[in-house]
Structure 1
Amino acid sequence: MNAVSGCPAILVAAPASGQGKTTVTAALARLHVRAGRRVRAFKSGPDFLDPFWLELATGHPAHNLDLWMTGETDAQARLHDAAQSADLIIVEGVMGLFDGEPSAADLARRFGLHVLAVIDASAMAGTFGALAFGLQHYRPGLPWAGVLANRVASERHADMLQSAVAGDEAVTPSVWLGALMREPKMALPERHLGLQAAHELPDALARLDAAADALSATPLGQMDLAALASWTVAFEPPSQAAAVPPLLAGKTVAIARDAAFSFVYAANLDTLRALGARLTFFSPLANVRVPPCDAVWLPGGYPELHAPTLAANHTTRDSLAEHVEAGRPVWAECGGMMVLFDELVDRAGNPHAMWGLLRGRISMQARLAALGPQRLMLSAGELRGHTFHYSICETPMPVALHTDAMRGGAVAAGEALHQRGALRASYFHAWMPSSPSATAALFLNEDLS
C-alpha cells in the first residue's frame, strides 16, 4: 500500500438522473470483462441498487465512494487498492454531474477521474453540443474523457449530434465517443426506489450483453488498452487506517437477507467482520426462525412489495419477539424498521398487519418522503449515512434520538430513532465503516446516548 498505483479511470456522469448512467457503466464494464480485462466498478454517492448491476458486470463487489459519507480517505484507499490489479476502473456518478454537496464532479476533480458524460439525446439535436460543452467547462480543472449520446433515434440523428459537438472549435473532435440507439432489450427496469436489482431478473446478464454489444460499435466501445492509457490516473496510497477494535468478538449477528431485505453495503459486512462478529443470514420471506445469535440486523429493502407474505410469517415474527423480550439487540433500518410496526399500508391503500414490536403505522406515499445525507451522533462516535424512503411513520412512541440531516452547510433535525429495550429502529441507513465503534454500539445492549 506504499506505492502509487496507476490505472485508467473514468467517471460516468450525466446532466441529470435517468439519462442511462447505470446502463452505460455496466455495459462498458461487461464489454471489457468479455475481452478478458480486469475491471473494477464503483458507485458515487449512497446507493444500494446500481451496485447490483455493476457487480454482475464485473464479478466484484461494487463499493460506494462519497467524499462526505464514506470519506476521502476511504475512497482513496479503495481506488488505490483497485488500481493495483485492474486494467480499468469505472465509477458511476450520482444524479447530475454537479448535483449535491459534494457532487460527482468534486469526486472526479479530487482523484483525477476522467469524466464520460452520458446524455439522453432522444429529444434534441443542436442543443446536445451546448450540454456537452457546458458539462465539460462549467467547472475549471475537470478531467474530461468525452461525451456519449444515449437513446438515439437513427444514424441520421447520431450524425446531427456529432456535428453539434464537433462544431465547437473549443472542443476537439475526440470528445465524441459515439451514440447508443434506443433498444428495449438493453433497458434496465425501474420501480419507486430506482432500478430493479439485477438478481431479481432472470435475463439480467442478457440485458447487459445486449448493451455491451451495442456499445462495441461506438468509438468508446472500440478503445483497447493502449487507447485507455490516456485516461490513466496515479492513485496515491492512503494513510494507514486505524485498527478496528474487536468490540463484537465472540458475538453472532443474524442478518435478514432476501428479496424484501437486500439493501446492504458490502462495506458494512466487512466492518462487522472486522469488529470480530460472526455473521449468519436468514430469510424472513421463508418464514424461518431467527437463528441463534447475540444480535439481529434487519436492513432496508422492499417489505411493501411482500407485505401479505411478511404479515403471515408468524414463525419469523414470534422468534424475533422472543429475541427482543430476552433483551438482545436488534438494529432495524428503513425497510427493516417498517415490518416492526403494527401495520403497513401499501400504495394501493391496503392495510397489512405487521409484527407489532413497535406501536404505530407505516403508510406508503406516492411521492418521495425523504432523501439526503444524514449522521447519527452517538456517545461511541459519529455514524454517517443517508435516508431515502417513500413511506411515513405515525407512532405514539417517544423518539429516543434524532439523526442530523446535512443540508449544505446547515444541519437540521433528521430521522427519528425509536427504541424498545435493545431494539433500535430508524429510517436512517448507516454506512458502518464511518465509525466501527458506533456500529458496535448498535449491536450491543448498551446506552447509545
Structure 2
Amino acid sequence: MKYHLISLGCQMNASDGERVRTVIEQMGYTYTEDETEANLIGILACSVRQNAIDKVYSKISKWNKWKNRSNLITFVSGCVLPSDHEKFLKLFDIIFQMKDLPNLPEMIHQYGITTANGVQKGFDAQNDNISEFWNVKPDHTSDFEAFVPIQNGCDKFCSFCAVPYTRGREVSRPSVEIVNEVRSLVERGYKSITLLGQNVNSYGLDKKGDEIDFPELLRQIGNLGDDLKTEFWLYFTSPHPRDMTDEVIEVIAQYKCLAKQIHLPLQSGDDKLLIAMNRKHGLEKYRQSVSTIKRLIPEATLFTDIIVGFTGETNEQFENTRKAMEEFKYNMAYIAMYSPRPGALSHRWFDDVSLDIKKSRHHILTEDLKIHSKNYNSTMLDKVFKVLVKGTAKHDGYLAGLTEGRINVRFLSTDESLIGQFVDVKITSAANFSVEGEMITIKEGVV
C-alpha cells in the first residue's frame, strides 16, 4: 500500500506532516512521490491565503475522479476554517484536526462502514488533547534540518488572521519534552533546528507560572549547546513584536548555538493600519526591539512579514511601510497581497484596495527590498562565512547552502557528500538575494 502527502503553507504544516508520515507508515503504507500510485492521499491545508485553499479544492476534484478506476481514500487536515470544514465533509473521505492525528488509523479502518460522507471528527477549536499529537515521533524528511513544535494556536486575534479559528487558543508544549527533543536531534547530528509556534515568544504564558517562559527555554537550549559542544544553529519562528523582550535578545547574544537571525513580522509600517490589524503594538515598540537587536547582536540578520493592500490602506500608509523598510533594512521580507479570510474579523470589511494596486505595491516593495538585501550582501565580499550545505544549486557544478543569518550562498563544487555539513566559504560576488563564493575548508561538527 502506498500513500502521498501534500503540505501547504507554513513550516508548522511541514512539521505536522512529519508526524502524519509516522502514523501512516506505522500502518504499513510506504510513501510515493507519484500521487497516481497512491491508495491513500492526504493534504494539509493552509487557510492563510485563498490561493492555498483553492489548491485544496482543485486537488480533491481531481482525486475524486480517480475513484472511478482505483481504490483510493482521501483525507484533509491542517489549518481548516469551520466554513471550509463543512464543505470538505462532502468532498474528502476523512477530515480531522491535527490534535486527533493519533486516531487516524482508526478512522482509516472505519472508512466505508460509517456515514456516506466517510469518517470525520467534529470541528473543535480547543487544544485539550494536543499533547497526544506531540507525543508522536516525527518522521523527519531531512537528516540535518528539523522542526520542533513548542506551542499550538494563537491568542492574538489579528484582524486579518485565521489561525485562532483553525488551530485554536495557545497551548504550550512541556519544556522538558522540547529540550529533550532538541538534545536528541543534536546528538544525532542535526545542524539546523527551528522551534515552531504561532507566537513563540508568548511560550509558557498559558501555564500561569507552571512552565518556564520563552527566554528561559532559549537559555536552557543554549546551555545544552554549551554542554554538548556540538556545532548547530537553533532558530525560532514566529515571534510577535508585542511580546519581544530585551531578555530574549540578550539570551540570543549570549549563546553560540542560538542563531543570529531574527524573523520579526512587521505587517505594516503605519500605526493606524497596525491598529486596524489588531497587532497590539506600534511602530515605536517595533523600533525599540530592532534597536536592541542591532546593539546587542550587530551581526544578526533581520527578516519580516509584510501585508500590502490591507483594507483601507492609503497611498500614504503604504509609503509609511516603505519608510519602515528603508529604516530597518531587512535582509528578507515575505510580502503578501492581502486577501480576506472567512472567520477573521477583517473578512467583514469591504476589500477596497484593487488587485492592480496590490500588485503594484507588492512590486514596489520588492524592488525596495532588493536594494537593501544587495547592499548587505555586498558587505560580505572578501569575508569568510560558515555555510550549511543544503543541496545542489540550480547552476550545474555548484552546491547551495545558507549562512547562519540565512543568506543564500552558492559555491563551485560537485561533492554531494558535503550536503548536510558545515563548510567555510569566502564570498566573491553578491546579488540581490544571494551571494557566491569559494569553499575554503570543511568544518568539523565539533567545536
Alignment TM-score, normalising by the size of structure 2: 0.35
Q: Which has the higher contact order (CA 8 A, sep 6+)?
A: 1
Which one has the bigger strand percentage? 1
After TM superposition, the score normalised by the length of structure 1 is 0.34
Question: Which structure: greater helix fraction?
Answer: 2
